[in-house]
Amino acid sequence: MVGNSSDDSQKEAKLINTFVSLFLWFVGLAHFAVLAGVAFPLLLILPARRIFPVARWLCRNQLRFMGCRLEVLGLENVPKDRACLLLGNHESLFDVFAVGGALPRFAVGLEAAHHFKMPLWGWITRTWGQLPLPEGRMSEARGTFDQAATILASGTDVIILPEGHRTRTGNLGDLKKGAFHMALATKADIVPFVQQGLYEFHNTHSWRLYPRRLRVIYGESIPFESFKDSSVEELRDRVRETLLKLDTGNSKLETGFYA
C-alpha cells in the first residue's frame, strides 16, 4: 500500500510539473517575443551601451515570467575604475538572462558561434557586440580572443564562461585555457562569479522547468599583479578553485515560484 501511494504521488507530481512547464514555456516565449520586439528597434537607432539598463530589466523580467526570482550578491567586488574579465560557470540555457540581469554595467561576452545563425536572436547578439566562439576550432577561436582583448583594453568588461559548454552534472567542469591566455596577455583583473539554481531550473537532460530562486555571486577580484608570474595552467587552477569555494560557501536556494 505504501509503495503504491508513493508511486501515485510521484505520478501526480510529474503530471503537475508537465502542465507547469508547458505553461512557463508558453509565457516565457511570449515574453521573449516582447523582449526581441523592444530590443530590435532600439538597437537600430541606439548603441547597445545606451540601452543596457533596459536590457538588464528585460533579462530579469524574462526570469520572473518563468517563475524565478534573481538574487545578486557581491556587486561591490566588481571594480568601478577599470574593465575586468568576468569568468563564471555555465549551468543552463537561461544563463544569458541570469548573467545579463546581474551585470552592474554594460559588458560583452563570448558566445557559441551557432547562436549567431539563429533567426532574430543571432542579429540581436551580433548587434549587441557579442563575439562568436567557434567550437573545437582553436585557430578561429584565437581571432575571437584577440577581438575580446581589444574590447577589454577599450574599457569594456568581457564575460567568458570558460567551461565552454553547459554542465552535464550540475558541477563545475574543466576550464579551457583561452580565457587565461587572454588575462595574462591583457593584464586584466579577473572577477570570478558563480551562478546557482540555473541547472536545477533547467538543464540539458530535460525540457522540464522547476521554478526556484536563482543567484549570481561575484567573488573578490583577482588583481593582475597577483598572477602576472603564473603560468596559464596555474591561473586556470586558481580560478577554478576560487569558483568552487564561492559556490560551496553560500547557502542552498529555495524552490518554488518566486521563492
109-164 pLDDT, tens digit per residue, is 998 888 888 888 889 999 999 999 887 666 667 888 888 889 998 999 999 999 98
User: Is residue 259 a part of any domain in this protein?
Assistant: no
Domain count, the chain: 1
Q: Cα 44 from chain centroid? A: 25
Length of the chain: 259
* Residue range 29-49: mean pLDDT, rounded: 92
- Main-chain phi, psi angles of 189, to 5 degrees: -70, 150
- Contact indicator for 163, 174 with CB cutoff of 8 Å: yes
- Contact indicator for 145, 184 with CB cutoff of 8 Å: no
User: Is residue 64 a part of any domain in this protein?
Assistant: yes
User: Is residue 193 a part of any domain in this protein?
Assistant: yes
The span from the CA of 256 to the CA of 186, in Å, is 43
pTM of the model: 0.90
What is the per-residue pLDDT for 69?
95
Residue 228 is part of which domain span? 2-248
User: Is residue 187 a part of any domain in this protein?
Assistant: yes
- Main-chain phi, psi angles of 110, to 5 degrees: -95, 135
